[in-house]
Structure 1
């Protein structure tokens, strides 16, 4: 799949169901070494101002080809995508892993009951600047979760691809259809997992219990949806404490991750 590349990631595009759609993006990462000392993700950064003043500035942006993107390798390698699939979309997910506890038993282990996350389009970064992409989950983890799809408190919250949530405790769902674009939807099931690297983020602000596993998800009904496989990679945060001591009956742990989405 091909995407036009501006240095940030705003989608103005068409459906991912098409064989090779093009997307137009505006904005820019800017140079955080020469931006008044401000972090590159702050709303006052020059690249955001430029993008808002000149929304058509990337009309001649070069093409980024997702066939050139290479997924990170898990510590215990995950199986390769099935033959015949192509990379459809890469997103940063920012949200929470959700857990429940038996509060009558302090030694009980928290039970995972799903997750919810907002997805942000980073497809061109995956193709063109993978080293930068690899930094984003840890950076996103220290940014607040957007209150709505219109939250523009940070440039990282622009170009929302869609949402990830669970239909039940074992069925992750990806909804990549929004008012701006229709990339597809799908129900999935866990196929394979790999522990996060030992140096993965502990949690927000460097405090927490570690990063959730890397995953490969397969479609629950391969014949019924365009999106076929999803990889959760480069996770940051999301792990619960080892026991339920001091925890509520239901609680959330903030996390971020890369999601690599493969389609027919």
Structure 2
């Protein structure tokens, strides 16, 4: 099939930012996040125990993956497309504030994120996949090299950043596999569900919207559509009171 649908993280608004260098720290979760982590490891333990009873290993078949649906659904994938990749993204949404009007709302400056390959989890354990953005958000960004996503051990499958002021881009060409490059534009957005994680230790300002994006001229690898789903964190405060002229808000998404 010539076309492909691509489920992974995306960004909401405009900005000019370079490719990210963000990394992650093992063991950096605080006690306040233990509920999220304990639920994840409990479910993971159930999967491991069930796996021991299986006659053969699960097959990584993306045709079995199901896209999560928001309370207000996003438009369906276009006719004729098939799922090519699923990733968990972990990074920051970036904002600016007026230096003269603290009551103004922050302005979005795009986002950066490292993308981690979750395709096999999506096809085999969708309930585990849905928890991963919340879990990933509990581990702080650091300058330490991190080639896998804490604590799930997912390998890097690419990077997300803004190619220019209006073009969120996804680079899925890595040493491990070349899936393509996708410059995008927003097609549709809906609010995250009411129960979405608002930020680290529930101290954030809300989860960024779920998105459908479509690729622009220059896309490779037959990538045509991108969805950002199951978001955690990323929203800014309502106003610029007490905020610097530029700042970052940590987020994760499927």
- TM category (shorter chain) comes to 0.7 to 0.9
CA 1:157 to 1:40, structure 2 compared with 1: closer, same or farther past 3 Å?
A: farther
Alignment of 1:186 with 2:186, yes or no, is no
- What corresponds to 2:227 in structure 1? 231
- What corresponds to 1:30 in structure 2? none
- What corresponds to 2:110 in structure 1? 114
- In 2, Cα distance between the equivalents of 1:39 and 1:233? 22
1:204 to 182, 200, 203: 200
Q: How many residues align?
A: 207
Shift in Å, 1:222: 7.7
Shift in Å, 1:103: 1.9
1:91 to 80, 87, 90: 87
In the superposition, the TM-score normalised over structure 1's length comes to: 0.72
- What corresponds to 1:68 in structure 2? 64
Structure 1's unaligned 5+ residue stretches are: 2-37, 47-59, 259-264
| Contact 2:118 2:154 (C-alpha < 8 Å) held by counterparts | no
Deviation larger for 86-95 or 197-206: 197-206
CA 1:138 to 1:40, structure 2 compared with 1: closer, same or farther past 3 Å?
A: closer
- In 2, Cα distance between the equivalents of 1:229 and 1:103? 37
Alignment of 1:215 with 2:241, yes or no, is no
- What corresponds to 1:4 in structure 2? none
RMSD: 2.5
Shift in Å, 1:205: 1.5
In the superposition, the TM-score normalised over structure 2's length comes to: 0.74
| Contact 1:149 1:160 (C-alpha < 8 Å) held by counterparts | no
1:121-157: CA deviation from partner (whole Å, max 9, x where unpaired): 1111111111111111111000123646644584535
1:251 to 241, 247, 250: 247
| Contact 1:175 1:186 (C-alpha < 8 Å) held by counterparts | yes
